[in-house]
Amino acid sequence: MSQEASSSFAGQEQPHPEFVDIHSHVLPGVDDGAASLDEAVRMMETARRHGTRVLVASPHANPAFPYDRSRTERLLDELRARAPSGLQLIRGCDFHLTFNNVEQALRWPADFAINGRCWLLMELSELTVFANTGALWRRLEDAGLRIILTHPERNALLRQRFELIEQWVSEGRYMQLTAGSLFGGFGSAAQRFATRMLDAGLAHFVASDAHDLRCRPPRLDLAFQWLARRYGEAYARRLVVDHPRCAVEGLALNLEGFGPPPRLPWWRRLAGAKPKTN
């Protein structure tokens, strides 16, 4: 991380958290995210207006949308020139588990990691869980990468294999939920599974996975409200501020005391069912 970006985390704690969003498709024209530079700028403005301090641009790396680090860097420079004051834009990648991707990441792990450090966003197929998934992950980990599995709650196969999530977390992998899943944006099955993971202490990050302004906007404030009402503000901060900050800085997570969150009174959990939109 640059000195400027690193220094943004220094200093006194603010009364309200400023979010670190590690997963967004804000780069224009490279995948199914922002369609134009103007839309990308509006997405950045929306993110900052609703409390995001750091936004990771994580374009897909899959057969449909090949990842090109040089092009990514050029687009990042364009967006940084038009970013709203107070927003740091960081490079990342939405890495799909394919043979070619793994081979490239083993040669140049920093090309795909968040901020060129060590954390890697990893999306699995919705058609099958490859038998050698664990072996591929171990190769990547031996190269210095840490795996963050993106939106498992939206993967219909994984929703049927809760024991896999438990196993992977026990083996040192990490889980990122999509903010919109918490309040039904991806259907009731994804919402239930996300809540089950949270209740079990198996979710480490919440990110927007923003693709646009209308259906999948870059907002973490609503997720923070939902999490704080259901589990308490301290737990919510870990998922949208503290843990994501570690990922951007290339640090290990401090998981001391992190596990199944305390169950708040039923009326607090009920209040957390729908976030305030103001």
Q: What is the pLDDT of residue 257?
A: 86
Q: What is the pLDDT of residue 244?
A: 98
Strands (DSSP E) found in 25-169? 52-57, 60-61, 88-91, 94-96, 119-123, 146-150
Q: What is the pLDDT of residue 12?
A: 38
Is the entire prediction scored with pTM above 0.75?
Answer: yes
pLDDT category, 268, cuts 50, 70, 90? low
237-264 per-position pLDDT tens digit = 999 999 999 999 999 999 988 988 876 6
Q: What is the pLDDT of residue 261?
A: 85
Range 17-34 average pLDDT: 97
23 with 56: CB under 8 angstroms?
yes
Range 38-50 average pLDDT: 98
Range 136-148 average pLDDT: 97
Domains of the chain listed by start with CATH number: 18-271 (3.20.20.140)
| Cβ neighbour number for residue 184 with a 10 Å cutoff | 15
Q: What is the pLDDT of residue 259?
A: 87
33 with 213: CB under 8 angstroms?
no
pLDDT category, 10, cuts 50, 70, 90? very low
- Is residue 3 over pLDDT 50? no
Q: How far is CA 183 from the centre of its chain?
A: 17
Strands 88-91 and 119-123: unpaired
227-240: burial string, b at 16+ Cβ within 10 Å, e else: bbbbbeeebbbbbb
Give the tokens for residue 76. 């990042």
Range 180-188 average pLDDT: 96
- Is residue 129 over pLDDT 60? yes
DSSP 60: E
Q: What is the pLDDT of residue 224?
A: 97
The pLDDT mean for the chain works out to 91
- Is residue 8 over pLDDT 80? no
Residue 90, strand partner residues: 56
First to last CA, the chain: 33
Q: What is the pLDDT of residue 13?
A: 39
207-243 per-position pLDDT tens digit = 999 999 999 999 999 999 999 999 999 999 999 999 9
Range 119-146 average pLDDT: 95
* Amino acid letter, 223: A
102-117: burial string, b at 16+ Cβ within 10 Å, e else: bebbeeebebbbbbbb
| Type and span of the H or E element at 174 | strand 174-178
81-100 per-position pLDDT tens digit = 999 999 999 999 999 999 99
